[in-house]
Amino acid sequence: MNPYYFASIALILIGLYAILVKRNVLKMLVGLSIMETGVNLLLISVGYVSGRSAPILSEGITPDKAVDPIPQALVLTAIVIGVATTAMALSVVINLYEKYKTLNVEEIRRLRG
């Protein structure tokens, strides 16, 4: 079995732990980012085939010796979308801190009324 599967599942579980257990919004956001990295690693490791190379046009690389480029393209798109959503979430966290002067979820719920 591919060791990247275990690493990606470990990252997903670490991120899930941070989202479910931590009460700080910023720590929850970091956990979401870790989980996203684990999912991206899982998708790349599923698309990897041992003994094959990247699908770049060059001499000696035939279609039967190249890996499928679709998982790589999907993960690249997911990384770009993940960075954009993380930036948007960080701006929401900044607004939360400016309004409530705390990042604790329970305190924000209590102050919100």
Residue 55 lies in a domain: no
The pLDDT of residue 54 is 78
Domain that holds residue 97: 1-49+67-109
The pLDDT of residue 49 is 81
Q: Has residue 18 got a pLDDT over 80?
A: yes
Residue 58 lies in a domain: no
Residue 18 lies in a domain: yes
Count up the domains in the chain and report the number.
1
CATH of the domain at 43: 1.10.287.3510
Q: What is the DSSP string of 9-77?
A: HHHHHHHHHHHHH--BHHHHHHHHHHHHHHHHHHHHHHH--TT-B-----TT--GGGB--HHHHHHHHH
Q: Has residue 1 got a pLDDT over 80?
A: no
Q: How high does pLDDT run on average in the chain? A: 92
- What is the DSSP code (8-state) at residue 53? B
Residue 57 lies in a domain: no
Residue 60 lies in a domain: no
